[in-house]
Structure 1
Amino acid sequence: MIKEADNLRKNILKIIQKNANPISTQDISTELQKPWHSIQTRCLRLQIENKITGFRVGRINLWQAK
């Protein structure tokens, strides 16, 4: 379980870093075929760890690499 969570975290970071523009939680979730809530939680953790930045536009959460 821990290994799968670690792989998910790495995959999220790769997707965010390869995009020049901010990417939404929904887009990441669609690309990885994982639930939105799982992606949102991992992105919030990455933001706390200071690896990515996040902001809201309306009801959409957007993420970008630091």
Structure 2
Amino acid sequence: MKVSVDEDKCCGAGQCVMLAPEVFDQREDDGIVLLLDAEPAPDQHATVREAAAMCPSGAIALHEGS
């Protein structure tokens, strides 16, 4: 799995950070998402999928496969 984020879409809700803090963080000045790990370990995939599904602005994109 590869993860990408669209900072222009991000509204700074922070749900991704609460669900997967190893993969996502937020900028301190405006709360916009920071991607910490674009290729998370397999044991994090379910949580990252949940974070993407819960993102209110659809700023997280997942690219499945190799």
Higher relative contact order (CA 8 A, sep 6+): 2
TM bracket (short chain): 0.3 to 0.5
Normalised to the residue count of structure 1, the TM-score between the two structures is 0.34
Q: Which has the higher helix share?
A: 1
Normalised to the residue count of structure 2, the TM-score between the two structures is 0.34
